[in-house]
Homo-oligomer: A and B are copies of this chain.
Amino acid sequence: MQIQSYMREKAKLVHQALDDYTAGLEGIPSVLKDAMRYSLLAGGKRFRPVLVLATVEALGGNTQQALPFACAIEMIHTYSLIHDDLPAMDDDDVRRGMPTNHKVYGEAHAILAGDALLTEAFGIMARAAGETGVAPEVALALINEASVAAGAKGMVGGQVDDLLGEGRTVTLAELESIHHRKTGDLIAFSVRAGAMVAGADEVALAALTRYAYRLGLAFQIQDDILDVIGDAVLIGKPVGSDEANQKSTYPALLGLEESKKRLNEITEQAKNAIIGHDGINPERLLQIADYLLARDR
């Protein structure tokens, strides 16, 4: 199967699970359910949950055991997008080709829909042990890692520094530190979740973690490049918004050509991290890295 088809199939699996789960939430205000589902089911690449599933397969693990973690990660990612888009933060009106959550449901409901998605994510992970047979110790370790990756040391801290950096030129080291926390930690957690559910040993886990951080950085550089040269229709949001928001980006700091060169190097580093390891069948993960390099949205 081609990598595009593979990713589409996995994304569909995750989408269906998220749809089923949120449709089944009973006893909650309908506007809250609508607001949660609006952003959660808006589509998107499902890059993080697909990584969870591809990693568990690369290690010969059980996809059904990994699915709750894949869904939880997408819920955490979606909550972060809803909050980042708020007027008090990035003040974005369009996301994935649709009005942002607060534009449709108002700020209060957007904040609360984000809060609810984050909170549900931890419940889904906590129930995974009982429902799918993941070892309780593994589920607890993953809940802890999710908290660190998404919390003050990880994603939230990265967003704070990202906001603080607006309007001034940050150094390349600062920019990479922001990306490491704002997107890298959750991408690394996605790969680690798949690996830990599959029972990866420490050596494989370290290799896959390095792959994930390099992949996350490549993903971010490509995002920055697409904001300069991409097609707004494909991306689903206006291009040039980074420059308009005075965001520091790779093209702004290094220029477009140097950014592309760096994207290629880092993608190679990601791939090299997982080649030649016993117990890792790297094919799909290598294809995902190449796919990201070539993506136009």
Interface flag for A226 (CB, 8 Å) = no
Chain B residue, CB-CB nearest to A154: B119
Q: How far apart are A160's CB and chain B's nearest CB, in angstroms?
A: 4
**Chain B residues positioned under 8 Å from A143 (CB to CB):** 122-123, 125-126, 143
Copies in the complex: 2
Cβ contact of A140, chosen from B28, B83, B126, cutoff 8 A: B126
**Chain B residues positioned under 8 Å from A123 (CB to CB):** 143-144, 146-148, 151
Q: Which of A56-64, A109-117, A232-240, A252-260 contacts B (4 or more CB under 8 A)?
A: A109-117
Q: How many residues of A contact B (CB 8 A)?
A: 55
Complex CA gap A146/B127 in Å reads 12
Which residues of chain A in 22-64 are interfacial with respect to chain B, using CB atoms and an 8 Å cutoff? 25-29, 31-33, 36
B32 touching A160, Cβ below 8 Å: yes
Q: How far apart are A193's CB and chain B's nearest CB, in angstroms?
A: 13
By Cβ-Cβ distance, the 3 closest A-B pairs, closest first, are A123-B147, A88-B107, A136-B136
Chain A residues proximal to chain B, CB less than 8 Å: 25-29, 31-33, 36, 79, 83, 86, 88-89, 106-109, 111-112, 114-116, 118-120, 122-127, 129-130, 136-137, 139-141, 143-144, 146-148, 150-153, 156-157, 159-161, 163-164
